[in-house]
């Protein structure tokens, strides 16, 4: 049974905000960036290398994550460092990943050969 949390909002404006949060998380590269930042603060160049993407592409996705309030940034000299500013994003990822794992395990049992006794 799914855990109970806050109910979905009942007004269109709030529903748009919820949809926007899911939209931000719908891009695999953004999820990879978040995964890298889960280990702690990283510079943009470190993130670029870790996710194997171009610096302009990583910066574009970091801006989207920052605008959504999921990632923060600080500058030290010429280097920009990014960090997770809303750790609850990992709770959501944990719930989604757990649900997917359960579903895939269930499907695998259906298609696995039966053991004879």
**62-74 pLDDT tens trace:** 999 999 999 999 9
**80-114 pLDDT tens trace:** 999 999 999 988 877 877 777 878 888 888 887 76
The 3 state secondary structure assigned to 17-37 is: HHHHHHHHCCCHHHHHHHHHH
Q: Which residues contact 73 (CB under 8 A, 6 or more apart)?
A: 62, 66, 80, 81, 82, 83
Domains of the chain by start residue, with CATH: 20-110 (1.10.10.10)
Residue 115's pLDDT is 59
3-state DSSP assignment of residue 42: strand
Whether residue 3 has pLDDT greater than 60: no
Q: Chain-wide mean pLDDT for the chain?
A: 88
* Closest C-alpha among 99, 105, 66 to residue 83: 66
Q: How far apart are CA 35 and CA 50, in angstroms?
A: 10
Q: How far apart are CA 25 and CA 92, in angstroms?
A: 10
Length of the chain: 117
- Beta-bridge partners for 75: 80
């Amino acid at each position: 049974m799914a855990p109970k949390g806050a109910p979905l909002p009942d007004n269109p404006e709030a529903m748009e905000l919820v949809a926007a949060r899911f939209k931000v998380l719908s891009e695999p590269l953004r999820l990879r960036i978040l995964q890298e930042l889960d280990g702690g603060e990283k510079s943009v160049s470190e993130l670029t290398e870790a996710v194997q993407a171009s610096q302009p592409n990583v910066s574009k996705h970091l801006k989207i994550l920052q605008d959504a309030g999921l990632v923060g940034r600080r500058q030290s000299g010429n280097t920009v460092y990014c960090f997770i500013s809303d750790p609850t994003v990992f709770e959501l990822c944990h719930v989604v990943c757990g649900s997917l794992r359960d579903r895939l395990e269930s499907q695998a049992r259906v298609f696995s050969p039966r053991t004879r006794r």
